[in-house]
Structure 1
Amino acid sequence: MNKKKTKVAIMSPIADTIGEASVVPRLSIALSKLGYDVELIDCQGEWKNLQEKTSRVKIVDLGIKKAFPYIPTFRWLSSWLSYRVWSFFVSLGIFIRLPFYLKSNKPDILIVRMLTGPTALAHMMTGTDSKLIISMGGLPKTSPIRVVLWRKVYKQASAFIAPNKGVAEVASSISKISTERFEIIPNPVIDDSIMEKSLDDVVHPWYANSKVSTILSVGRLTRQKDFSTLITAFNKIKKQGNFRLLILGEGEERRKLETLIDKLDLKDHIQMPGFEKNPYKYMKGANMVISTSKWEGPGHVIIEAQAIGVPIISTDCPEGPRDTLLNGEAGTLVTVGDSDALASAIMEITENTTQQKNMVQAGLRSSSRFTDESVSMKWKRVIDKITER
């Protein structure tokens, strides 16, 4: 008699962030390849296109879009207030609709990665036999409400997943949940498609000119990413070489950054073309990739740049880049917000080819931790342990 497959449901309503849009499909497909019956819960149509790409994962519509048809998807949020309004209605939809899903579909495991509060509450109120796993892609945001949720509601979860030890320690200090209950599992970031996409041609004059040193940065134009420090640092080195800076991403700080670029007279040296579906081809041809985040999880952009083989500079921010860059062996670490240190690091890497080669080799080793195969096997151990209890 065949053993019934373990049903795993995955929920991550914020699919329009670069990290989640990549991680969640990879995790879903990787777990299905290991023999799990995987359902991906769709809140606002964020995963509807995935069904066309794979038959391994079933997309289940939670019905929130029908209940609140005029609430925009996450991609179109441009301010703190719009995010709060969006978050309220989607959270309300989850709280109302999720119990029906849990009772009808009866997943053995429910993995939640975003908007964990309403999901944990709904799970607890339903009284379901489904085991809850709270998975953090990066540093958990703090607020009085979240602290209460962590300490009163989240403790009912069967497992907690953190991408590295630093994130686990921060979450533990907030929640008062022992670090021993946290499993360290990196996000699945690397697969063959990244390498394939990196080989696509880049149609851009800077990339066509071998005399130009192109610096690349990728991420949403938000306060967290601190592109102001990057632009300020670039201004300090612009006359020391034929440098150009390309920033791929979109967000609420666009106008502020454009004003800074105009003020420093850098319009001919810096471009911000917006969101790019294939940033990997730009990484492949860049002279270096820079991340200036004030805080970050493992840093998907720097992981991808490692796998592609590009020198990296990152701020030594909490709570992931230091681990990802092997304490500085696989990339240069600089102090958060220090434009002078960043400018010096850019020049040092530019002038030291030996350092570039050593950094790239260490980066390739580091990136192997983030492959779909490696990550899915760690998830398997956690899921099997929970379901066997």
Structure 2
Amino acid sequence: MTQNKRIKVCLMVSSLGAGGAERSSAILSRMLEDSGYDVTIVSILDDIVYDYKGNLVNLELLTSSNKGLHKRWRKFVISRKLIRENKFDYIIDAAPRPWWFRQWFINTFVYQKTDTVFIVHSYNIGIYFPDNRFLGKLLYKDAYELIGVSKEAVCHFKEKYGLSKGSCIYNAFDRKRWDTMSEVNVETPSYPYILSYGRISEDSKNYSFLVESYAASRLPKQGVRLLILGDGPDKIKIQNLVKKLKIEDCVIFKGFSENPFPYVKKALYTTLTSNYEGFPMVLIESLAMGTPVVSVDCKSGPSEVIVTGENGILVPLNKEMAFTEALNKMIEDQAFYQKCKNGTISSVSKFEIENIIPQWQAILPFKK
């Protein structure tokens, strides 16, 4: 960016805490700041885990003495004042938007006439759109742009709501940063293991499918364990299922890790069994570490990343027997496994920052 005046961007997030969308927002802040943008991050919650760049405005801390409706109103007031005084060139709203009226109020009275880009991080568009088609069109009629993190997600919301706007920009990653993080000295298991990591929530991540598929596979008898990194509302439920299946010695639970890369790098392969996604960074992170993947073909993202036999295996959604056989094949067919492993790193080069930032620069050009 050669202009003397830096383009001012306000990035609205629910938080920078644990989660794929939150991690992607943190990466976006670093990517934009490093590319010459003047970035301000407004976080609704006081949950800051991932490294970011730019000026952080923590609404939860600023309203810590308020409660209930008064707290919410104070957050609206602070946000409105911030946007008015800073005269941002663009707003990027990366937060969930489950309540259409509240979001309409924010669009109208907080964002006002500032060019606003709305990000849709999930195929489960109920997090971002009301069910009603008319209200959905009303909510985003003045959007500067709508960005989906996968092609399938963009097609989904454009078709459902009859929207003309909608572009796909994949989540980016910083290879050098991830390589450095993977070299951090962490006590990783000495035994062979496959990996799953993320929020343990049955509704979205379907960990029971993973555990049942693993229990039915030949991996436990071959000494290959399942390592689960993460926490969430259904962790105890999944632990109880492990006990019921009598595989407690084979399934290892570890809590959430801000840096999963040392575990990813040493895993035989990573698994993903979600009911839905947006663009699962678990797959990108694994492949970037040279670790193949076995994933269900959920909506959306996996089919835009995985090519069976080249960097992993893509299994039809909810086909437990097929998923179990995929787990076995990656362990027992060494020629197939090695071919997948050899194709991992090159398969995600298109998602590196240097290939994604030009797409954001095209969306957020300099204003005369």
- The answer, yes or no, to whether TM exceeds 0.5 is yes
Contact kept? 1:163, 1:185, Cα under 8 Å:
yes
Choose which of 256, 262, 270 in structure 1 pairs with 2:251. 270
Cα distance in structure 2, aligned partners of 1:302 and 1:127: 34
Cα distance in structure 1, aligned partners of 2:343 and 2:265: 17
Cα displacement (A) at 1:173: 2.5
1:24 aligns with 2:25: yes
Counterpart residue number, 1:208: 190
Task: Give the TM-score of the pair, scaled to structure 1.
Answer: 0.84
Counterpart residue number, 1:287: 268
Cα distance in structure 2, aligned partners of 1:91 and 1:324: 39
Cα displacement (A) at 1:321: 0.6
> Secondary structure, in 3 states, of the residue corresponding to 2:39?
strand
Cα displacement (A) at 1:46: 3.4
Counterpart residue number, 1:82: none
CA RMSD of aligned residues (A): 2.7
Contact kept? 1:330, 1:363, Cα under 8 Å:
yes
Counterpart residue number, 1:38: 39
Cα displacement (A) at 1:319: 1.1
Cα distance change on mapping 1:280 and 1:159 into 2, 3 Å: same
1:146 aligns with 2:166: no
Counterpart residue number, 2:112: 128
Cα distance change on mapping 1:174 and 1:98 into 2, 3 Å: farther
Choose which of 167, 172, 177 in structure 2 pairs with 1:193. 177
Contact kept? 2:10, 2:41, Cα under 8 Å:
yes
Counterpart residue number, 1:331: 312
Measured against aligned partners, the alpha-carbon deviations of 1:182-230 in whole angstroms (never above 9, x if no partner) come to 22111123331211222234424xx324xxx311100111011111011
Cα distance change on mapping 1:279 and 1:239 into 2, 3 Å: closer
Cα distance in structure 2, aligned partners of 1:119 and 1:190: 32
Structure 1 residues 7-156: aligned runs within 5 Å: 7-47=8-48, 57-61=54-58, 63-67=59-63, 94-116=75-97, 117=100, 118-119=102-103, 121-126=105-110, 128-142=112-126, 146-148=130-132, 149-156=135-142
Number of aligned positions between the proteins: 359
Choose which of 206, 211, 214 in structure 2 pairs with 1:231. 211
1:157 aligns with 2:143: yes
Which one is further off, 117-126 or 4-13? 117-126
Cα displacement (A) at 1:69: 5.1
Which 5+ residue runs of structure 2 have no aligned equivalent?
none
Cα distance in structure 2, aligned partners of 1:271 and 1:305: 19
Structure 1 residues 296-311: aligned runs within 5 Å: 296-311=277-292
Contact kept? 1:162, 1:184, Cα under 8 Å:
yes
Contact kept? 1:290, 1:312, Cα under 8 Å:
yes
Amino acid at match of 1:216: L
> Secondary structure, in 3 states, of the residue corresponding to 2:42?
strand
Cα distance in structure 2, aligned partners of 1:154 and 1:235: 46
Cα displacement (A) at 1:269: 0.7
Cα distance change on mapping 1:306 and 1:145 into 2, 3 Å: closer
More helix by share: 1
> Secondary structure, in 3 states, of the residue corresponding to 1:132?
strand
Cα displacement (A) at 1:326: 4.0
Which one is further off, 371-380 or 281-290? 371-380
Cα distance in structure 1, aligned partners of 2:28 and 2:128: 31
Cα distance in structure 1, aligned partners of 2:4 and 2:88: 16
> Secondary structure, in 3 states, of the residue corresponding to 1:35?
coil
Amino acid at match of 2:339: N
Contact kept? 1:294, 1:317, Cα under 8 Å:
yes
Measured against aligned partners, the alpha-carbon deviations of 1:81-102 in whole angstroms (never above 9, x if no partner) come to xxxx9xx998665544422222
Task: Give the TM-score of the pair, scaled to structure 2.
Answer: 0.88
Choose which of 219, 228, 231 in structure 1 pairs with 2:198. 219
Amino acid at match of 2:131: V
> Secondary structure, in 3 states, of the residue corresponding to 1:290?
strand
Measured against aligned partners, the alpha-carbon deviations of 1:52-75 in whole angstroms (never above 9, x if no partner) come to x77x511234x444435587xxxx
1:250 aligns with 2:231: yes
Counterpart residue number, 1:371: 352
Cα distance change on mapping 1:70 and 1:283 into 2, 3 Å: farther
Measured against aligned partners, the alpha-carbon deviations of 1:328-379 in whole angstroms (never above 9, x if no partner) come to 6422111223221111001111122222232233332231122222222210
Which one is further off, 292-301 or 99-108? 99-108
